């Protein structure tokens, strides 16, 4: 772009009437989106696949590791969020993230890689075939959802950058912009939000970088434009609005672990046997259900991931 | 009550005109009663319109807990408000507001028992023993029970005012435990519990200051008259 970024042509200026009524437009848009999502849900998988093809995200593959459980309604997935960058209340993200700018957006990959790179988000979406992954999501607060994510296997991206033999961990960094992320104006957490995975966890086929859910682009409150999804770990491992991935040789710091090391470990694997010091992790409430259900080891993905932790004391490495 | 200690100087307007005063006070009391029910009404309306988030049980518990602490703080604010500004109306509704604190605490606890835990007694027992935030929250609730039970005029008579008052000092302990319960429950954002804590500290400071002042005044007057009489109220801070 040759023009200065702050110069806006008249044609792009929002008419005052629209600006003044922006909230109504937003809510109209939200209502429309919900209506469409409801309609999409009513169709069979095949029909909604067609819908989605027309609505932005081209999905190349469906069904891998998919759970048959009832999916959490879009309305719940997009209004009940822990995303402290936009506020600590569950409905703060949906209330405050609407104007968050997710374009232009780049992801930098650096550190122990032979091919460090900065990738534009739209290039990234085009470069890898997108997959739908219907996963359980278990929050550390003992509630859970079932979410149809759209994303790319993290392993594919890591491999493309050709990690060196020193690459033992992947560190993730989230966006810092207090002007757009009001929650960052208070030091509730140590910004930027950072997370990390062991390299074998990061390249496990279950781990994805999500760019959408319910067949559409990721809503801002769910971590747009790019977030991590590691379904066998507690939700806080799923860092949102990722701007940087660094391959490193030692275990990187992670935000909640820094905040309370005795409560949130680096691994944060879902485990009904290992309680949070302040509450039990044995059960969870599935959003939309009354009775609590039993929490499953590795959130029900033990067959896929248990081997990653063979020989480890999961009580110590929680 | 205050008029006993400081008789109205001649010529000063009487605070309440006979005939009209009690009516006005009763009206004020009714208004406070209705106001205390508003949080519950709001909860009911939001439930009807499915506005209790995707996790309604947690939302209901959070809101009821918030209002319990709010009403406890309001109850404890009655005496300091009198000391600071000379207001007396709040003294007439203090008992009612205190009972509302208990009412919301009971709803909060019932929601935990019935909706959150579905009466799973072994889980509830384990929670109360193992989870310190639940231990202190439960303790705060239990402490409020005798206060609610002895809130009648008859109970004051039966127990005698002094004993009754000593029992009702438990409300301080309950409020402090309630704030600790909140502090230990939140994950990272301590803003709300800190505000409740600050309110309690402020109210306790006002109480302490007034009782010290009273004591100093009593000592002064007793030294002037040459009598070694103890300060009024036996030295128990009001």
Q: Where are the domains of chain B?
A: 26-212
Per-residue confidence (pLDDT) for residue B225, from 0 to 100:
64
**Is A69 at the interface with chain B, CB within 8 A?**
no
Is residue A99 in a domain?
A: yes
Is residue A165 in a domain?
A: yes
ipTM: 0.82
Is residue A20 in a domain?
A: no
- Span A10-50, pLDDT tens digits: 555 555 555 444 454 444 444 444 444 444 333 333 333 33
Q: Which of A79, A280, A290 sits opposite B54 (nearest CB)?
A: A79
**Is A188 at the interface with chain B, CB within 8 A?**
yes
Q: Which of B55, B115, B131 sits opposite A278 (nearest CB)?
A: B131
CATH code: domain of residue A136: 3.90.420.10
CATH architecture type of domain B26-212? Up-down Bundle (1.20)
Domain coverage including residue A75: 60-309
Q: Compute φ and ψ for A75, nearest 5 degrees.
A: -55, -40
Contact check, Cβ <8 Å, B188/A278: no
Rounded average pLDDT per 10-residue block, chain A, 318 residues:
49 52 47 42 38 65 95 98 98 97 98 98 96 98 98 98 98 98 97 98 98 97 98 98 98 98 97 95 97 97 98 95
**pTM > 0.90:** no
Using CB atoms and an 8 Å cut-off, which of residues 171-230 of chain B contact chain A? 184-185, 187-189, 191
Contact check, Cβ <8 Å, A141/B187: yes
Q: How far is A265 from chain B (nearest CA, A)?
A: 14
Q: How many domains does chain A have?
A: 1
- The answer to whether A34 and A102 have CB atoms below 8 angstroms apart is no
DSSP designation for B15: S
């Amino acid at each position: 772009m040759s023009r200065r970024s702050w110069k806006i042509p008249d044609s792009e200026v929002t008419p005052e009437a629209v600006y003044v009524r922006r909230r109504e437009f937003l809510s109209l848009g939200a209502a429309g989106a919900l209506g469409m999502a409801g309609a999409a849900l009513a169709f069979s998988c095949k029909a909604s696949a067609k819908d989605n093809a027309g609505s932005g995200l081209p999905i190349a593959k469906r069904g891998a590791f998919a759970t048959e459980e009832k999916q959490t309604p879009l309305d719940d997935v997009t209004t009940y969020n822990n995303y402290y960058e936009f506020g600590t209340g569950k409905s703060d993200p949906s209330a405050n993230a609407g104007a968050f700018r997710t374009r232009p957006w780049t992801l930098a990959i650096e550190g122990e890689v032979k091919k460090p790179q900065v990738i534009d988000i739209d290039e990234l979406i085009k470069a890898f075939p997108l997959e739908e992954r219907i996963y359980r999501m278990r929050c550390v607060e003992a509630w859970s959802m079932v979410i149809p994510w759209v994303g790319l296997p993290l392993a594919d991206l890591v491999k493309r950058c050709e990690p060196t033999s020193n690459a033992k961990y992947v560190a993730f960094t989230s966006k810092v912009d207090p002007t757009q992320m009001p929650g960052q104006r208070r030091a509730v957490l140590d910004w930027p939000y950072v997370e990390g995975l062991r390299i074998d966890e990061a390249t496990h086929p279950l781990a994805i970088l999500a760019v959408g859910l319910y067949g559409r682009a990721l809503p801002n409150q769910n971590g747009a434009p790019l977030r991590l999804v590691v379904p066998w770990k507690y939700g806080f491992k799923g860092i949102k609005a990722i701007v940087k991935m660094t391959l490193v040789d030692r275990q990187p710091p992670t935000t909640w672990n820094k905040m309370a090391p005795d409560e949130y470990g680096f691994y944060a694997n879902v485990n009904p046997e290992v309680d949070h010091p302040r509450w039990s992790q044995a059960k969870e409430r599935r959003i939309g259900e009354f009775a609590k259900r039993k929490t499953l080891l590795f959130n029900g993905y033990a067959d896929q991931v248990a081997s990653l932790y063979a020989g480890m004391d999961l009580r110590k490495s929680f | 009550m205050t008029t006993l200690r400081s008789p109205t100087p001649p010529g000063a307007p009487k605070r309440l005109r006979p005939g009209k005063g009690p009516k006005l006070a009763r009206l004020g009391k009714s208004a406070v009663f209705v106001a205390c029910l508003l949080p519950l009404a709001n909860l009911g309306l939001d439930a009807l319109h499915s506005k209790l988030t995707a996790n309604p049980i947690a939302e209901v518990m959070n809101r009821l807990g918030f209002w319990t602490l709010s009403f406890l703080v309001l109850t404890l604010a009655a005496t300091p408000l009198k000391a600071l500004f000379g207001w007396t109306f709040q003294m007439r509704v203090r008992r009612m507001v205190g009972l509302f604190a208990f009412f919301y605490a009971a709803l909060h606890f019932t929601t935990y028992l019935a909706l959150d835990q579905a009466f799973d007694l072994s889980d509830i027992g384990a929670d109360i023993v193992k989870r310190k935030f639940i231990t202190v929250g439960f303790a705060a609730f239990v402490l409020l029970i005798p206060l609610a039970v002895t809130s009648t005029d008859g109970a004051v008579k039966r127990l005698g005012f002094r004993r009754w008052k000593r029992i009702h000092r438990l409300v301080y302990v309950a409020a402090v435990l309630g704030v600790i319960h909140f502090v230990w429950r939140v994950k990272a954002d301590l803003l709300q519990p800190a505000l409740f804590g600050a309110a309690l500290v402020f109210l306790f400071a006002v109480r302490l200051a007034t009782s010290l002042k009273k004591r100093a005044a009593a000592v002064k007057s007793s030294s002037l008259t040459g009598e070694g009489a103890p300060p009024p109220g036996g030295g128990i801070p009001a």
